[in-house]
Structure 1
Amino acid sequence: MCLIYFLLFLCCSISLFLMSLMFMLMDLSVIIEMNLFSINSSPVVMIVLLDWMSLLFMSFVLYISSMVIYYSKEYMYGDLNLNRFIMLVIMFVFSMMFLIISPNLISILLGWDGLGLVSYCLVIYYQNIKSYNAGMLTALTNRIGDVALLLSIAWMLNYGSWNFIFYLEFMKMDFSMQLISLMVMLAAMTKSAQIPFSSWLPAAMAAPTPVSSLVHSSTLVTAGVYLLIRFNLALNYNLMMILLFIGTLTMFMAGLGANFEFDLKKIIALSTLSQLGLMMSILALGEIYLSFFHLLSHALFKATLFMCAGCIIHSFGNCQDIRYMGGLIKFMPLTCCIFNISNLSLCGIPFLSGFYSKDLILEVLSMNYLNMFIYIIYFISTGLTVSYSFRLVYYSMIGDFNFISLNCLSDHGMIMLKSMLGLIFLVIMGGSMLSWMIFPTPIFICLPFIMKMMALLVTIFGIILGLEFSYFSLSYKLKSFNFMNFSFFFSTMWNMPVMSTFCMNYYFTNLGKLYYLKIDQGWSEYYGSQNLFNNLIKTSKFMQLLMFNNIKIFFMLMILYLMVMIMMLF
């Protein structure tokens, strides 16, 4: 089953890529309307938008998912429910495809909700308490965005159609469109895990590694960025400035947190969060093609990174702590080579795929007339990216081997290696290929020499900081001045998971307890239902007593009446 879907997705990916090239060369956009059925002369129409952007993105999604499905054949070997897992992954991919080709808010919601529901099933795939908590946090955070999208659908009724693509630029200054774009921005922030909705992204690492590879490269988290790329014409200046601030803050927070984390998958998840912040912030500056370019190049090296991480975790008997690793280059040379190439691409080392997008983004930002805060945060975040990447390389490749003596570390997984090799060539050459496609006319950059060299300088500083920090992080000196508290604060993303769970649950639950004790079982109980019930029982018992003894009471009353009359006579 894995092999069939792998070949199917691979063929579809190649054909869609060739179609996107044709659409790009001919400058085509095709909108297909399919009349599903009519109710009282009101047609229900399914609309599909095909342009070079949607076709190119779909080809990347299908190519990465084909490699992930092939990878799962060995990684998930021995799982009794492998077919169910593959079917869930395919549903996940189809939901993403549905979202990509939709110029209509209703069909976008179907794809959007499909992603949310299937991601919940995949996060809780390993059934334990940690997975259940992570799945619930993921689902509930994404529900906020779903509600925002539903509200935007309701406001879109003002225009008589849900095909937003026809109204974006024309109705830009209208209040309804501004409200819709605000709701869409909120939905995109929840799906792409921007501050303050960031805590679900590292928690979703409870899913199997092939799922993480797919989710963090080209599907779930990129859906928000892609939606904003489609809605970019409707975003006004104020919304863009808010998005820029939140994007840069997310990028900085995630980069800082990854330098203090010890879980291999969470480090790579935080690097995804950092890159999403970069995509959002450059999109907020109006550079939608740059954002899309980085989205595609990031998808390639991030999928490869997760595959390598899965291979290492698989060999380590499901151990994810990087402190147990070290010297892996001797045991797993091919996996480590692929891991290092992907890591260097993430850092933006010339001339790998990440370099073409990241360097261009930094230079375009330097060309823009912006404040010093954004400029400094951008370059510090870039330095932090290099820092945590080289820290990861130090802990896993260079440092001392800290695992048990009896181990089975080797490059024995041929299927996993083949799927990683299928992506690594694109990681090396994909960036230049995409830059020639998306920017046939080169962007003219004119900067002073020091600003031109800033990206290279922060990369070098990041390498030095990452290696030095990892070398001294376990020393006594850093532990002596309460370093562990700082480490915990930064690795938990400025206490965001605590705020997303404990603060959202505890106070409301406690308030419910107080209400129950003071109101439900307090004054309300005394004056309300229970006391009323008791009074009714007492009254009915008294009435019953009267009814059962009415003759006696009648005679008693007659005797009393006679006694009163006699007394009155005398």
Structure 2
Amino acid sequence: MWCWLYFYIFLVISQILYFSSLFFLFKVMDVFIEFQILCFNSVNVEMAVFLDWVSLMFSSFVFLISSMIILYSKSYMVKDKNLDRFVYIMVLFVLSMMVVIMSSNLVFVLLGWDGLGLVSYILVIYYQNIKSYNAGMLTALSNRVGDSALLVGIALMMGLGGWGYSSYMGDFFLDMNLIMFSVLIVLASFTKSAQIPFSSWLPAAMAAPTPVSALVHSSTLVTAGVYLLFRFSNLLSRESFMVFMYLSLFTMFMAGLAANFEFDLKKVIALSTLSQLGMMMVIFFLGSEDLAFFHLLMHALFKALLFMCAGVIIHSVGGCQDIRYMGGLVQAFPISSACFGVSSLALCGLPFLSGFYSKDLVVEVFSMSGMGLFIYLMFFFSVGLTVSYSMRLLIYVFIGQFNVLSLINLNEKDSSLMLKSMMFLLVLVIFKGSILGWMSFSTPYFIVLPFSMKLMTLLMILFGSLFGLDVLFSGVGQSSSMFGFIHFSLFVSGMWNLPVLSTSSLNSFTLNLGKLYLKNMEFGWAEFYGSKGGFNLISMILYEGLSVIRNHLKIYLLLMWGFLVFIVLLAIV
């Protein structure tokens, strides 16, 4: 019941916000609403809401995708005894994202930011086991780094008399803390969007249910970092952009390479998200904020559809996520395979799908940036890796040899609600890119490139296809491969040891210190003179008191006898 209610509410709100954003776009109109909550020591705390076509458009996408995922969850989580609780948590997740999107006050941005971190932790540990617990702790602690960066940014802005960043833009440029503030905002966005060196939590968060993964990786948690950068783009120091651009480029390259050696279906799609987030960050740091936002919207559509298709398959094959135990599923899942194929081709940038309109512009604008040859080749090689892992996934899951261990439930008849939500998103994946591409840019991009650089994208797509086939048919670690570095597959699929470096290596000193403290203090002198010694002392006093109470007549007679003896002795003396 609640699923249908929230589905209809979110769907209606998304349509209202979408047409409102078009109205704001065509009228070139912004609305700024501010409520003063508290004023102390010349510092104002306001609840500020900033409405323009960007915030309204992004909110409409969030509500639309959330409505489809809630409808999808009704069928996917049908055997869950706490379905209503799951829906409530998802709604709270969406509302936290709305606070981040709509607010122009850094304090309230932090409120929504912390809400995203807390609710994501609850959703990651939804399946209560040790793997989910470790993944949830890694997710929560990684995101706390960004939360602390926002707190320090709030402290830096306190000297301006408030935290509404749109009101103090001119004054802030005169402040010497601009570079520090820029680094803090980028650090916060890097933790939420899982850029190097905070990339390890994103694949680990796949311990959450698949509807959560679809929502997190499409339009809410990981995209909050890119959206925060977009909102603060006028306040950031351009001197530090080049360093962050290199980190994002390495993230894009690392995630694309790791996805080609991963066998967990959900982790491959998660690494695909990480690669696309790196692409958004790269084009943002090159100065094209509107292109990063455009690709963010398009990516939300086909990434949600990819996860929903993966959920149908995992749901039907008994929870197995290893793609080596799949294959030939196109006959059992014709609609899901069609949706998966279209969304994968949109991810690759096939012409006239939604991903093409954003990704092709991103690639061509990057080609015009005049970067060095090494950066240029790394970027295009990462684009080719996107095609590579998409082809590998399609062949492993749908086209290749039938490797399913059991034939139980290999059909789509029990997934009608899931298929309806997927088909709706499929239409958007096909047509939404061209619609927004025609409407969103008031000034069209004019790109002039040599013919060879124009063909570079097609060349990389062809190279990515060949590389994916080579990885697929050569096997991991075999010498028959024509690419020598496949021998490092464990290192590559382990994301360059980032999960180890960001967990045990950082915590080893603290854990060893805690062990020594526990052994020598908690179970040693502190216990002897503290809790245990105090307990023994109190026990002894109580025992003596009880002895007095139980033997009060004997003690009274003894005292009387002693008193008489004392009187007799005095009389004799």
Identity %: 57
Distance 1:10 1:144 in 2: 34
The answer to whether 1:140 aligns with 2:130 is no
How has the CA–CA distance of structure 1 residues 174 and 433 changed in structure 2, closer, same or farther, with 3 Å as cutoff? same
Name the residue aligned to 1:250. Answer: 251
For residue 404 of structure 1, report the CA deviation from its aligned partner: 2.0
Name the residue aligned to 1:201. Answer: 202
Distance 2:362 2:30 in 1: 27
- Stretch of structure 1 that moved more, 291-300 or 404-413: 404-413
For residue 381 of structure 1, report the CA deviation from its aligned partner: 0.3
Could you tell me which runs of 5 or more consecutive residues in structure 2 were left unpaired when the two chains were aligned.
534-573
Name the residue aligned to 2:122. Answer: 121
- Residue type of the partner of 2:251? T
Residue-by-residue CA offset, 1:20-70 (whole Å, 9 max, x unaligned): 000000000100112446789986531100000000000000000000000
For residue 480 of structure 1, report the CA deviation from its aligned partner: 13
Matching of residues 528-539 of structure 1 within 5 Å = none
Contact 1:124/1:132 (<8 A) preserved: yes
- Residue type of the partner of 1:451? M
How has the CA–CA distance of structure 1 residues 491 and 42 changed in structure 2, closer, same or farther, with 3 Å as cutoff? closer
Name the residue aligned to 1:313. Answer: 314
Name the residue aligned to 1:17. Answer: 18
Distance 2:109 2:450 in 1: 44
Residue-by-residue CA offset, 1:364-412 (whole Å, 9 max, x unaligned): 0111122222211110100001000000011011110111243221122
Name the residue aligned to 1:270. Answer: 271
- Stretch of structure 1 that moved more, 317-326 or 469-478: 469-478
How has the CA–CA distance of structure 1 residues 50 and 480 changed in structure 2, closer, same or farther, with 3 Å as cutoff? closer
Distance 1:191 1:475 in 2: 33
- Residue type of the partner of 1:456? L
How has the CA–CA distance of structure 1 residues 479 and 443 changed in structure 2, closer, same or farther, with 3 Å as cutoff? closer
Distance 1:443 1:106 in 2: 36
For residue 178 of structure 1, report the CA deviation from its aligned partner: 2.1
Partner of 2:177, secondary structure, is helix
Name the residue aligned to 1:375. Answer: 376
Name the residue aligned to 1:332. Answer: 333
Name the residue aligned to 2:564. Answer: none
For residue 213 of structure 1, report the CA deviation from its aligned partner: 0.2
**With structure 2 as the length reference, what TM-score do the two structures score?**
0.88
- Stretch of structure 1 that moved more, 239-248 or 472-481: 472-481
Distance 1:33 1:300 in 2: 32
For residue 234 of structure 1, report the CA deviation from its aligned partner: 1.9
Distance 1:481 1:32 in 2: 58
Residue-by-residue CA offset, 1:317-337 (whole Å, 9 max, x unaligned): 000000011011111111000
Matching of residues 119-518 of structure 1 within 5 Å = 119-168=120-169, 170-412=171-413, 413-473=415-475, 477=479, 486-513=488-515
Distance 2:411 2:515 in 1: 55
Distance 1:58 1:31 in 2: 16
- Residue type of the partner of 2:453? M
Contact 1:352/1:429 (<8 A) preserved: yes
Residue-by-residue CA offset, 1:424-475 (whole Å, 9 max, x unaligned): 1110011111111221432111110000111111011111211232022269
Contact 1:28/1:51 (<8 A) preserved: yes
**With structure 1 as the length reference, what TM-score do the two structures score?**
0.88
Count of aligned pairs between the two proteins = 528
Q: Once superposed, what is the RMSD of the aligned Cα atoms? A: 2.5
- Residue type of the partner of 1:500? S
- Residue type of the partner of 1:213? A
How has the CA–CA distance of structure 1 residues 479 and 40 changed in structure 2, closer, same or farther, with 3 Å as cutoff? closer
Contact 1:156/1:176 (<8 A) preserved: no
How has the CA–CA distance of structure 1 residues 483 and 253 changed in structure 2, closer, same or farther, with 3 Å as cutoff? closer
For residue 478 of structure 1, report the CA deviation from its aligned partner: 5.0
Distance 2:123 2:83 in 1: 12
Contact 2:266/2:310 (<8 A) preserved: yes
Name the residue aligned to 2:113. Answer: 112
Distance 1:284 1:475 in 2: 36
How has the CA–CA distance of structure 1 residues 39 and 351 changed in structure 2, closer, same or farther, with 3 Å as cutoff? same
- Residue type of the partner of 2:436? L
How has the CA–CA distance of structure 1 residues 481 and 356 changed in structure 2, closer, same or farther, with 3 Å as cutoff? closer
